[in-house]
Amino acid sequence: MPFNGKSGKFNAAIRTVEIGTGDKAVKLGGENVLPFYTFDAPIENAPKIGVMITDMGLENEVAGIKDYYNGCTSFAEIAKKAEEMPGADFVVLRFEGADPNGENKSVEDCVAIAKEVGDAITAPLVIEGCKNVEKDAELFAKVAEALQGKNVLILSAREENYKGVAAAAGLAYNQKVGAESAVDINLAKQLNVLIGQLGVDQGNVVMNVGSAAAGYGFEYVVSTMDRIKAAALSQNDAQLQMPIITPVAEEAWSVKEAMASEADMPEWGSQEERGIDMEVETAAAVLASGSNAVILKHPTSVATISKLIKELV
């Protein structure tokens, strides 16, 4: 009997979702193999990198980030610089300041910033909220309306506000919809089902299945992503074949390894290097677990992960 080598290529595939318009539009997903298994079948769309900027400007950022954006005085200039960052595929605008428990910026102010950023760049744009479900629902609807025609990804609809967010972004204004669950495989699937039942084309949905910095319950993140990719590919589960995007920067830069000052922890060495290490390690790990895109902020992290992806795909 002749030997038949078996390929690990699946009969199912992750859906391809395009964000942005024109030459710089990016495609997420599309693969029919496990992450980076290019020896089983070609991976047409390599994982992508988004560069995160926030509505809070640069004040709270580390020196390396401030240096990179040196001279930028407006959101438009910061955004422009972000899209030019070597290794960047898209820009992520995060409305940290919209949080009612923080700066509580008005929806109108946020929409103005979104428009300024949207008009300044040609790279695809992803919008992140402040995690307050009511405020985000209001904010996302207005931003989705203001950025019509730009094919942005709204990150994200959650269990508590998916009706409003998915209906505005996915149905009324024809943007892409992020479906966010916090490291809960059953909810990740359920949310996709519910968004589909609203009438949103499942080809317009990207999942954020949750993240954590490496070392902070990260095993759950990995097992969640593993199970989702297994369901999507080996069980051909249409409700889980959405590409995955993982916001890494906000998790990685908010753990003690990245935040403790050198004065407090001299034996840990440079604070900025620690932050970069956390960001790179977390991003590499979620990519290896199946993320189709990661959101980072430090230029060194973006360059490192970009090189990693280029070497592997």
- The site for another protein (CB under 8 A) is made up of 1-2, 4, 11, 185-187, 189-190, 193-194, 197, 227-228, 231, 234-240
Nearer to another protein, 30 or 57 (CB): 30
Least distance between another protein and beta carbon 35 (Å)? 18
Nearer to another protein, 4 or 73 (CB): 4
Least distance between another protein and beta carbon 13 (Å)? 11
Nearer to another protein, 193 or 260 (CB): 193
Instruction: Determine if the peptide bond prior to 291 is cis (ω within 30°).
Output: no
Whole-number Å distance between alpha carbons of 120 and 147: 12
Return all residues near 308 (Cβ < 8 A) that are at least 6 apart.
284, 287
Q: What are phi and psi of 295, to 5 degrees?
A: -115, 120
Q: What are phi and psi of 91, to 5 degrees?
A: -115, 140
Least distance between another protein and beta carbon 186 (Å)? 5
Whole-number Å distance between alpha carbons of 215 and 99: 27
Return all residues near 298 (Cβ < 8 A) that are at least 6 apart.
62, 64, 65, 249, 272, 275, 276, 279
Nearer to another protein, 81 or 227 (CB): 227
The two counts, helices (H) then strands (E), for the chain are 11, 10
Amino acid type, 47: P
Least distance between another protein and beta carbon 276 (Å)? 35
Nearer to another protein, 21 or 236 (CB): 236
Amino acid type, 93: L
Nearer to another protein, 1 or 263 (CB): 1
Least distance between another protein and beta carbon 206 (Å)? 18
Nearer to another protein, 122 or 239 (CB): 239
Least distance between another protein and beta carbon 193 (Å)? 4
Return all residues near 232 (Cβ < 8 A) that are at least 6 apart.
12, 14, 240, 241
Least distance between another protein and beta carbon 139 (Å)? 28
Q: What are phi and psi of 245, to 5 degrees?
A: -115, 135
Amino acid type, 294: V
Nearer to another protein, 180 or 251 (CB): 180
CB count within 10 Å of CB 85 equals 21
Reduced to 3 states (helix: H, G, I; strand: E, B; else coil), residue 41 is coil
Least distance between another protein and beta carbon 194 (Å)? 7
Residues in the chain, overall count: 313
Contact 192, 186 (CB under 8 A): no
